[in-house]
C-alpha cells in the first residue's frame, strides 16, 4: 500500500519535477513512511487520470494514425482490453510482475505458443510505451520483460510439382485464375479480393494494389495468368466491377474467407497439406531470391517497409545451401 501511495504521489508531481527529483522524492517519502501503517479504506479513483477504457481508445487512435489495418486494430483492442479486465486495476497500478504473471498464466491456461505470447508482449510494450511517452505513467512496466525466444521452424513453400497439382485440381476457371495470380504476383490475399476489373493492365501484365497502411504498389503477373484471367472474365455475365466474384448469384465480391476456404478444398483434392494464400507469397519470395533477384527488389515486389520482413518471408532453399557449401567450402 505504501509503494502504491508513493507512486501515486510521484505521478501527481511528474509534471513539476525531473526524473532525478522524482527519485529523490521517492526516497524521502519511503523514509518518512517507515514504520507507519497505511490502510486503504475505499478505492480512490484518480481525479485527474483517464480511465483504462479511455487510454485504450487513445492507443488505438494512435495506431490508426500509424496506418494499422482494421484487422490489426481489432486484435490490439481485444488483447489490451482482455489484459486490463483481467488485472482489475487502473493502468497506473499495473506492475511488471503483474504482466509477467498474466503472460505466464495465459500461456499455461491456453497452451499458447511462444510466438503468441511474444506478440502479446509487444502489444503491451507498445501500449504502455505510449502512456510513458505521453506522461500518463512514469515508466512502462514492460521495459524489464524481454523478448521471448521463439523457435524458428523452416516454413514450407509450394514446389513446381505442387503448383501443377493445384492447377489440375481446379474445377472452376475462376479458381485457376486465383491460383495463378497468387503464384505469379506474390500479392496478399486482402489485396487480391479488393482488385477490380478496371485495375488490370493486361497489355503490360501489371496492376496496382492497395497494400497495408493504404500504400499503393505495382505488382506483376505472368502470361499464363493473363490468359486464365481473360478467359475467366469473358465467361462472366454479371456487372460486378470486382475482379473475382462468387460462383453463384448474386455474384458478390469474393472475400478473404472465401479464397482461403476454396484453396483448402483445392489443396485437399491435390493431396497437399496446408494450402493457404500466404504460402504462395512465401513461395514467390523464396524463388525470387534463389534465382538471384536482389533482396531490395523482392522487398519492393512484396510491399515490405522493412527488409528484415522480406528476409523472414523468403526461406532459402536447402538444396541451394548444400550446393553453395560444396562450391565455396568443399
Percent of the chain with pLDDT over 70: 89
**Dihedral sign, Cα of residue 84, residue 87, residue 92, residue 95:** negative
Phi, psi (5° rounding) for residue 325?
-60, -45
Q: Are residues 179 and 301 in the same domain?
A: yes
How far is Cα 305 from Cα 294, in angstroms, rounded to an integer? 16
Alpha carbon 259 to chain centroid, angstroms:
19
Q: Are residues 207 and 167 in the same domain?
A: yes
Q: Which of 76, 136, 232, 313 is catalytic?
A: 313
Considering the chain, what is the average pLDDT of its residues?
A: 87
Q: Where are the alpha helices (DSSP H) in the chain?
A: 2-13, 19-32, 52-65, 70-87, 96-110, 114-133, 160-169, 173-185, 189-193, 223-235, 256-269, 277-290, 295-302, 307-313, 318-328
How far is Cα 43 from Cα 29, in angstroms, rounded to an integer? 21
Q: Are strands 216-220 and 200-201 parallel, antiparallel or unpaired?
A: unpaired
CA dihedral 302, 223, 175, 259 (to 10 degrees): 10
Q: What is the pLDDT of residues 121-177, one digit of tens each?
A: 999 999 999 999 988 898 999 999 998 887 666 678 899 999 999 999 999 999 999
Predicted confidence (pLDDT) at residue 327 exceeds the cutoff of 90: no
**Given pLDDT bands bounded at 50, 70 and 90, which one contains residue 46?**
very low
CATH number (domain holding residue 283) = 1.10.443.10
How far is Cα 78 from Cα 123, in angstroms, rounded to an integer? 11
CATH number (domain holding residue 89) = 1.10.150
CB contact at 8 A, 282 and 310: no
* Structural domain that includes position 118: 45-133
Predicted confidence (pLDDT) at residue 70 exceeds the cutoff of 90: no
Is the model more confident about 91 or about 329? 91
Instruction: Indicate the burial class of 237 (C-beta count within 10 angstroms; 0-12, 13-18, 19 or more).
Output: exposed
CA distances from 19 to 13, 132, 209 (A): 10, 13, 48
Q: Are residues 115 and 192 in the same domain?
A: no
Predicted confidence (pLDDT) at residue 213 exceeds the cutoff of 80: no
Assess if residue 289 is contained within a domain.
Answer: yes
Q: What is the pLDDT of residue 322?
A: 65
**Given pLDDT bands bounded at 50, 70 and 90, which one contains residue 215?**
confident
Assess if residue 187 is contained within a domain.
Answer: yes
Q: Which of 121, 281, 282, 287 is catalytic?
A: 281
Q: Which of 122, 212, 236, 253 is catalytic?
A: 212
Question: Into how many domains does the chain fold?
Answer: 2
pTM of the model: 0.63
Look at residues 35, 34, 30 and name the one whose alpha carbon lies nearest to residue 9: 30
Clarify whether 212 is annotated catalytic: yes
Predicted confidence (pLDDT) at residue 49 exceeds the cutoff of 50: no
Assess if residue 146 is contained within a domain.
Answer: no
Assess if residue 27 is contained within a domain.
Answer: no
How far is Cα 124 from Cα 140, in angstroms, rounded to an integer? 9
Is the model more confident about 11 or about 180? 180
Q: What is the pLDDT of residue 320?
A: 62
Q: Are residues 256 and 304 in the same domain?
A: yes
Assess if residue 278 is contained within a domain.
Answer: yes
Q: Are residues 82 and 205 in the same domain?
A: no
3-state SS record for 307-325: HHHHHHHCCCCHHHHHHHH
| Least reliable range by pLDDT among 20-29, 189-198, 261-270, 294-303 | 20-29
Assess if residue 247 is contained within a domain.
Answer: yes
Q: Are residues 170 and 291 in the same domain?
A: yes
Clarify whether 188 is annotated catalytic: yes
Q: Which of 71, 197, 278, 322 is catalytic?
A: 278
Clarify whether 281 is annotated catalytic: yes
Assess if residue 275 is contained within a domain.
Answer: yes
Highest mean pLDDT among 25-34, 134-143, 301-310: 134-143
How far is Cα 59 from Cα 168, in angstroms, rounded to an integer? 48
Is the model more confident about 320 or about 148? 148
Q: Which of 92, 262, 282, 304 is catalytic?
A: 304
Amino acid at each position: 500500500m505504501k509503494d502504491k501511495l508513493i507512486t501515486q504521489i510521484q505521478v501527481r508531481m511528474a509534471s513539476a519535477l525531473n526524473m532525478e527529483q522524482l527519485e529523490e522524492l521517492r526516497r524521502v517519502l519511503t523514509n518518512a513512511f517507515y514504520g507507519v501503517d497505511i490502510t486503504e479504506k475505499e478505492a480512490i479513483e484518480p481525479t485527474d487520470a483517464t480511465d483504462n477504457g479511455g487510454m485504450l481508445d487513445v492507443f488505438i487512435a494512435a495506431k490508426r494514425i500509424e496506418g494499422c489495418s482494421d484487422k490489426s486494430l481489432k486484435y490490439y483492442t481485444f488483447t489490451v482490453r482482455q489484459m486490463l479486465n483481467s488485472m482489475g486495476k487502473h493502468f497506473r497500478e499495473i506492475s511488471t510482475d503483474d504482466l509477467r504473471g498474466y503472460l505466464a498464466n495465459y500461456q499455461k491456461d491456453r497452451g499458447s505458443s511462444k510466438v503468441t505470447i511474444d506478440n502479446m508482449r509487444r502489444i503491451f510494450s507498445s501500449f504502455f510505451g505510449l502512456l510513458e511517452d505521453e506522461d500518463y505513467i512514469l515508466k512502462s512496466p514492460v521495459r524489464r520483460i524481454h523478448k521471448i525466444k521463439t523457435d524458428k521452424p523452416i516454413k514450407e513453400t509450394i514446389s513446381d510439382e505442387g503448383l501443377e497439382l493445384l492447377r489440375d485440381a481446379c474445377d472452376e476457371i475462376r479458381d485457376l485464375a486465383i491460383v495463378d495470380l497468387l503464384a505469379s504476383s506474390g500479392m496478399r490475399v486482402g489485396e487480391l479480393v479488393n482488385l477490380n476489373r478496371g485495375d488490370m493492365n493486361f497489355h503490360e501484365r501489371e496492376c496496382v494494389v492497395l497494400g497495408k497502411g493504404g500504400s499503393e504498389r505495382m505488382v506483376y503477373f505472368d502470361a499464363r495468368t493473363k490468359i486464365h484471367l481473360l478467359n475467366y472474365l469473358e465467361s462472366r455475365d454479371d456487372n460486378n466491377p470486382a475482379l473475382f466474384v462468387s460462383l453463384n448469384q448474386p455474384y458478390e465480391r469474393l472475400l478473404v474467407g472465401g479464397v482461403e476456404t476454396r484453396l483448402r478444398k483445392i489443396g485437399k483434392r491435390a493431396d497437399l497439406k496446408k494450402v493457404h494464400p500466404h504460402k504462395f507469397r512465401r513461395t514467390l519470395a523464396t524463388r525470387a531470391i534463389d534465382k538471384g533477384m536482389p533482396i531490395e527488389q523482392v522487398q519492393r515486389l512484396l510491399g515490405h517497409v522493412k527488409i528484415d520482413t522480406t528476409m523472414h518471408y523468403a526461406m532459402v532453399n536447402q538444396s541451394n545451401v548444400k550446393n553453395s557449401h560444396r562450391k565455396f567450402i568443399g
